[in-house]
Structure 1
């Protein structure tokens, strides 16, 4: 059966339906992907945030194909014409720019900090699965 997907919000129920019709749980599909059930649940809950590559991996396991076609335009709708992308030439910098100097309270000059986080801030990184 074919399903027309015109918005990202339609992707979630369709992925869910294909998974269930394949007789797979989230945990079983996650195991086939080599990820945790929580990671797959997150993808299924918000597939719009997933990469196209990840969506294709899921679709491949569910034996789902993607077909694209141009929708017929309704009366009164003008076809959208794509603009030609404008290319910009990248010019490498001759020398690395130095950060500006700033005078501190003692009158000594020091380089200005380019960090956007306050000193002493603790940053934690989430562990990401590589799939």
Structure 2
């Protein structure tokens, strides 16, 4: 069955439905992906925050394929401007940023060097899953 996804909020129920129709639990999908159940639950709860690569891994695992097609024109939609295609947006020119002054550079260097830990110090960091 095909589903038209037009907003990011539509991803969650669709992923959930495909997972359940495959007869898989969140824990089972997580195990197949090599991650924790909590990580998969977070992705499923908010798939809009996941990377496209991660979404594709989940879709491959659930045997779901992505198809893209151009939507048909609807009454009341604005016509494309002359010289631009329907899918292109006009982006204003960015202002040129001024390079940081020498004074700013030296203060940043001092801040960076002051945050270094002494040799042999033990650092604790939250372990990140690489999937």
Query: C-alpha deviations, 1:42-85, integer Å up to 9, x for none?
Result: 00000000000000000000000000000001122125341588
Structure possessing the higher relative contact order (Cα contacts under 8 Å, 6 or more residues apart): 2
Q: Deviations over 1:22-49 (max 9, x none)?
A: 0000000000000000000000000000
Instruction: Provide closer, same or farther for how the CA distance between residues 65 and 100 of structure 1 changes in structure 2, counting only shifts above 3 A.
Output: closer
Residue of 82, 95, 107 corresponding to 1:112:
107
**Aligned partners of 1:81, 1:10: CA distance in 2, in Å?**
21
More helix by share: 2
Partner of 1:66: 66
Q: Which runs of 5+ in 1 are unaligned?
A: 87-92, 102-110
Cα RMSD, aligned residues only: 3.2
Q: Distance in 1 between matches of 2:68 and 2:21?
A: 22
TM-score, structure 1 as length reference? 0.70
Flag structure 2 segments of 5+ consecutive residues without an equivalent.
80-85, 93-98, 116-122
For residues 19 and 87 of structure 2, the distance between their equivalents in structure 1, rounded to whole angstroms, comes to 37
Query: Runs of 4+ in structure 1 displaced over 4 angstroms?
Result: 83-86, 97-101
**Bigger radius of gyration, 1 or 2?**
1
CA displacement 1:88-110 (0-9 Å, x = unmatched): xxxxx9xxx85559xxxxxxxxx
Q: 2:37 aligned with 1:37, yes or no?
A: yes
Partners of 1:73 and 1:124 in 2: how far apart?
54
- Cα separation, 1, equivalents of 2:2 and 2:89: 31
Q: Is 1:22–2:28 an aligned residue pair?
A: no
Number of residues of Structure 1 aligned to a counterpart in Structure 2: 111
Give TM-score scaled by structure 2 length.
0.70
Distance in 1 of aligned mates of 2:64 and 2:13? 14
The aligned residue for residue 88 of structure 2 is 82
